[in-house]
Amino acid sequence: MYVFSVPIFFIVFRETLETGIIVAILLSFLKQNIGGPDRDPVIYRKLRNQVWVGTGSSLLLCTIAGCGLIGAFYSLNINGWGIADQIWEGVFSLLASLIISIMGIALLRVSKLQEKWRIKLALALATHSRTSTDTATTRFKRFCEKYAMFILPFVTVLREGLEAVVFIGGVSLGLPASAIPLPAITGLLAGCLLSYLIYKGGNMAPIQVFLIISTCVLYLVGAGLFTRCVVYFEGYKWNHMTGGDSSESGTGPGSYNIHTSVWHVNCCGISINTGGGGWAIFNAILGWSNSASYGSVISYNMYWIAVIVGFLSLLYREQRGHWPLMKKSAAVNQDSDIDTPKDPGEPEEPIQLPTLEETDDKSATTKAVAA
Amino acid sequence: MLPWFILFLLGLSKATTHTYDFNVTWVTANPDGLYERPVIGINGQWPIPIINTTVGDRVIIHLHNQLGNESTSLHFHGFFQNGTTEMDGPTGVTQCPVPPGSSITYNFTTDQPGTYWYHSHDQGQYPDGLRGPFIVQDPDSPHKGKYTGEFILSVSEWYHKQIPTLLTSFMSYTNPTGVEPEPQAALMNDGPNATFPVQPGQTYFFHIVNMGAFVGQYVWFEGHHMRVIEVDGVWTEEAEADLLYVTAAQRYGVLVTMKNDTSANFPIVSSIDEDMLDKVPPGLNPNVTGYLIYDSTQTLPQAQWLDDFNPFDDFTLVPSDGLGIFDNVDHSMTLDVVMDNLGDGQNYAFLNDTTYLPQKVPTLYTLLSAPEDLVTNTAIYGENTNSLIVEHGEVVEIILNNHDIGKHPFHLHAHNFQVVVRSDAEAGDFDPTNTTALTTAAPAPAFPAVPMRRDTIQVPPHGNVVLRFRADNPGVWLFHCHIQWHMQTGLMATIIEAPLALRAQKGSQGVQALPADHLAACQAGGTLYEGNAGGSTSDWLDLSNANYPPDPLPAGFTARGIVALVFSVVAAFLGMAAISWYGAAEFKTMKVGN
């Protein structure tokens, strides 16, 4: 039985990491601003608890939503769809490949994740501060102010969590339900651990090495899923040509289209029935197939070329401030999710950011929240 | 439809000559009542004529190919053709295909009694209609006087598409498992409602013949017993049977005694062996029903279909002549049936790892045109004719092991073979060490003392048969599965029987001793009639021009696969390098920021 889905592990890991960073930023902010020995410990504890309660309740909600959604997917009984199975499997593989490919980038930029959330949270807090200075104060607004430290993580985590649920749903469509719990739990634990390490500060270098290795594995999986998508589509076409007859052939002659075959070895098949358990893991992580077609080989290589071009372009943009082959001015559009830093020369935003390092900067913004 | 009732005059003991002009043409027919289609008829008629002769008679058939778009030939299934191997009919073996517009004459004697049939032996053509029964009367039959009338009861499966179309999709890389085309109907006497008018209390001789090209059929008479008296032209001692299994090309002669009561008519049912179909197409009626008509004013009752078939075991039949087992085997050969794919992705059939392919020169013509000292060298006939040379007079044993999951009705031209062993399905290969006295004088008890002889035998799935015959008939004879689909993919071998005696028989003129119209057909069709398998008459051992099948599938990685794999691995590593490079830029941020 297939019990560990690598994409699901990474998705949960990444979303947990992101949630962890949000919580860490908020906690640091509280600690720095009102958690000192000369501050009010009651308010500090209250606000800190708000953060935890907001995060926790949000997580609970997401978990419930996730279970419900995935349960609904499986109740559709995808395996009962016959020959169109391969079309679905192909679409799911493609979806999973795209999801983890896009998500993977952020994993390498923990500092940017932190940066992003600092900005977002600061903006959110600034909004509250502005509303509090308004003359027209409604009860709702006051409620919001009073429970900002609950609402902020609650809403943010809920958003991230639902995103994770949708992504997990997306990549798990082609998988048995048994493949979800184990990677979800381990991903959650790994994400919490890493968030804690980041929160504690300390040496980020080993963490970054770990993230680089993880991302490499993630993209290996992504490449494998991408090529499997092509394999599924080709399998559908081949079954159509043979009248569904090739499924009888197992992994031997006849199971593949000889005219599009690049290699076919009569061993190392991925079917567990034929003793290919080990090869099935190889297939899940690296996209290995004992029967490769022009389509699967070309798609595999194209995926990596796209990855190479994509990452080099990102690096170029970070260093030069604009995309390769584009004029500098045209490049300063803000991509909201894959946040790249602004041009070094650009002035910082006027709002003061709460950072983990700040110790004594008590701006109007932060005071307003604390009050 | 007129009943196919045949009343034979008795007492014609003088050999006569039956001469036919057969114009082979396309006609339109709708035999199953489901679909009208072009079929191959003779003289504008379909079904084609039934040939009736008496033992010793001569048959002369002038065949004129007026199809316009296909070559043709005729094979007279089951006849020994002793002395007339060139009249046997398979193209590429004993003659060239007769091209459209050409004519050829078949001239031979019918020296054996019983139930036979004739059919095209060219390009898997006969299921398009060119097949018909051929009955030889025996004034000296041991069962003479036991019956008052005779009927022919032919069965076959029927296709709506024509063979060339079916072959194109069958022999294709898109049919890698070699799934045979599924028939659309079963026919009895080439129609859906054959009737047999009978008199109460009388006994009739039914000549049952499966003229199909693929599936075996179960045949039974509701409410009546059969007594088998003939199998593939060999008189047997009477054996009671309720259900017969008739493979493609097999025949049975049975006596059926009518009831003394005309109050009801009775169905005769023939049912396709659905085990042979990869999947039973929806809407296929595997059964076809005919009727024993006691009273034409009575209704025709609905037949009772069977779910369980327990057919008569033909292995138990005993020939009337009492010919004992050939217990001194001079020449034993083992043939293994295998189905596999070749490098073009198609499914092929193999006997001992060699798939049959017709060569550029018909094998008989190679034999007659070659230098005398080379005719016993199988190389000149081409590796893919699967040629096996047997000496004149020796007792030949064929051990046929079926490594395939399918049933294969094997047919040997020009001989009745003794069936000395037939295993159960899934019994595996024949093990000679496990059976005593294969080559000793005294036959082991396991072997029947008087084995059943026939010319077509069902080889069970993953089982085996052992066949014996005496090589007393010089000629070039095919040994093949009679499923046309398998013949086309190569499930054939060529028995080159007594090649030196055959050359002596045909005289010093060699191939020129053959009828001029046979050679003219070759010329008209552009087929070579002299030379080795590749058509070479200068260097007889140069087979470079012979026909060969595609190469086997590569077992593992080819150069193409290795290049692709290396490229993929390099791409993956470069990709990970790019990821790492991008990820490493984070270290810089750490020093500055965190």
The answer to whether the CB of B292 falls within 8 A of the CB of B221 is yes
B553 falls within a domain: no
* Exposed / middle / buried, residue B176 (Cβ in 10 Å: 0-12, 13-18, 19+): buried
Per-chain mean pLDDT for chain A: 74
- Whether residues B556 and A265 touch (CB distance < 8 A) is answered with yes
B539 falls within a domain: no
Q: Write the DSSP string, A256-278.
A: S-GGGEEEE-SS--S-GGGT-HH
Residue numbers in A near B339 (CB within 8 A): none
Residue A356's pLDDT band (cuts 50, 70, 90): very low
Q: How far is B49 from chain A (nearest CA, A)?
A: 39
CB of B429 within 8 Å of any CB in chain A? no
According to DSSP, residue B531 is labeled S
B543 falls within a domain: no
B322 falls within a domain: no
Mean pLDDT of A213-240: 88
The verdict on B456 and B571 lying in the same domain is no
List the single residue in B with minimal CA-CA distance to A248.
B177
The pLDDT assigned to A65 comes to: 85
Residue numbers in A near B586 (CB within 8 A): 108-111, 208, 211
B207 falls within a domain: yes
Model ipTM value: 0.75
- Whether residues A259 and B173 touch (CB distance < 8 A) is answered with yes
* Exposed / middle / buried, residue B27 (Cβ in 10 Å: 0-12, 13-18, 19+): middle
**Two structure tokens written together for B422:** 């037939």
Pairing of strands B244-246, B5-6: unpaired
The verdict on B91 and B179 lying in the same domain is yes
Pairing of strands B203-210, B234-241: unpaired
- Whether residues A292 and B564 touch (CB distance < 8 A) is answered with yes
**Residue where a domain stops, chosen among B316, B342, B370:** B316
Q: Can you state the angle between helices A205-242 and B559-592, rounded to 10 degrees?
A: 150
The verdict on B401 and B478 lying in the same domain is yes
The verdict on B69 and B168 lying in the same domain is yes
CB of A263 within 8 Å of any CB in chain B? yes
The verdict on B196 and B282 lying in the same domain is yes
Q: Is the pLDDT of residue A366 over 50?
A: no
Give the number of residues written for chain B: 594
Residue A345's pLDDT band (cuts 50, 70, 90): very low
CB of B45 within 8 Å of any CB in chain A? no
The verdict on B399 and B503 lying in the same domain is yes
Residue numbers in A near B557 (CB within 8 A): 263, 265
Residue numbers in A near B340 (CB within 8 A): 253
Q: How many domains does chain B have?
A: 3
DSSP helix/strand/coil, B337:
strand
According to DSSP, residue A246 is labeled G
CB of A258 within 8 Å of any CB in chain B? yes
The pLDDT assigned to A339 comes to: 43
B538 falls within a domain: no
The verdict on B343 and B295 lying in the same domain is no
State the Cα–Cα distance between residues B557 and B561, nearest whole angstrom: 5
B550 falls within a domain: no
CB of B425 within 8 Å of any CB in chain A? no
The answer to whether the CB of A187 falls within 8 A of the CB of A12 is yes
The pLDDT assigned to B123 comes to: 92
The pLDDT assigned to A327 comes to: 72
The verdict on B309 and B339 lying in the same domain is no
For residue B376, give the CATH number of its domain.
2.60.40.420
Mean pLDDT of A325-339: 53
The pLDDT assigned to B593 comes to: 41
The verdict on B241 and B338 lying in the same domain is no
Q: How far is A144 from chain B (nearest CA, A)?
A: 32
pLDDT-above-90 percentage for chain A: 7
**Two structure tokens written together for B449:** 């003392």
**Two structure tokens written together for A369:** 């929240």
For residue B245, report the phi and psi dihedrals to the nearest 5 degrees.
-110, 115
A367/B476: higher pLDDT: B476
Q: pLDDT tens string for chain B (594 positions)? A: 344 444 444 444 578 999 999 999 999 999 999 999 999 999 999 999 999 999 999 999 999 999 999 999 999 999 999 999 999 999 999 999 999 999 999 999 999 999 999 999 999 999 999 999 999 999 999 999 999 999 999 999 999 999 999 999 999 998 988 999 999 999 999 999 899 999 999 999 999 999 999 999 999 999 999 999 999 999 999 999 999 999 999 999 999 999 999 999 999 999 999 999 988 888 899 999 999 999 999 999 999 988 889 999 999 999 999 999 998 999 999 999 999 999 898 999 999 999 999 999 999 999 999 999 999 999 999 999 999 999 999 999 999 999 999 999 999 999 999 999 999 999 999 987 665 444 444 444 578 999 999 999 999 999 999 999 999 999 999 999 999 999 999 999 999 999 999 999 998 888 999 999 999 999 999 999 999 999 999 999 999 999 999 998 887 788 888 999 899 999 999 999 999 999 888 777 665 444
- Domain with B586 in it: 560-594
The pLDDT assigned to A20 comes to: 86
Q: What angle do CA B373, B493, B334 make, to 5 degrees?
A: 95
Q: Write the DSSP string, A178-201.
A: GGSHHHHHHHHHHHHHHHHHHHT-
Q: What angle do CA A160, A164, A168 make, to 5 degrees?
A: 175
State the Cα–Cα distance between residues B128 and B122, nearest whole angstrom: 12
Mean pLDDT of A62-70: 82
Q: How far is B346 from chain A (nearest CA, A)?
A: 8
For residue B230, report the phi and psi dihedrals to the nearest 5 degrees.
-150, 140
Q: What angle do CA B250, B254, B255 make, to 5 degrees?
A: 170
**Residue where a domain stops, chosen among B316, B348, B382:** B316
The pLDDT assigned to B7 comes to: 42
B178 falls within a domain: yes
Interface test mutation site (partner B, options A115, A216, A300, max chain B beta carbons within 10 A): A216
Residue A350's pLDDT band (cuts 50, 70, 90): very low
| B312 CB-near residues (< 8 Å, 6+ apart) | B226, B228, B239, B241, B242, B243, B244, B245
* Strand ranges, E, within A279-369: 291-293
**Two structure tokens written together for B86:** 């060139």
B450/A259: higher pLDDT: B450
Interface test mutation site (partner B, options A116, A220, A308, max chain B beta carbons within 10 A): A308
DSSP helix/strand/coil, A32:
helix
Residue numbers in A near B347 (CB within 8 A): 254
Residue A202's pLDDT band (cuts 50, 70, 90): low
The verdict on B191 and B93 lying in the same domain is yes
- Whether residues B575 and A308 touch (CB distance < 8 A) is answered with yes
The verdict on B441 and B568 lying in the same domain is no
**Residue where a domain stops, chosen among B502, B525, B548:** B525
Q: Which range (A142-151, A227-236, B375-384) has the least confidence?
A: A142-151
CB of B567 within 8 Å of any CB in chain A? yes
**Of residues A246, A300, A307, nearest to B579 (C-beta):** A307
CB of A255 within 8 Å of any CB in chain B? yes
| B504 CB-near residues (< 8 Å, 6+ apart) | none
The verdict on B403 and B454 lying in the same domain is yes
For residue B195, the one-letter residue type is: T
pLDDT digits 0-9 by tens, A76-133: 655 544 556 778 778 888 888 888 888 888 778 777 777 777 787 777 766 655 544 4
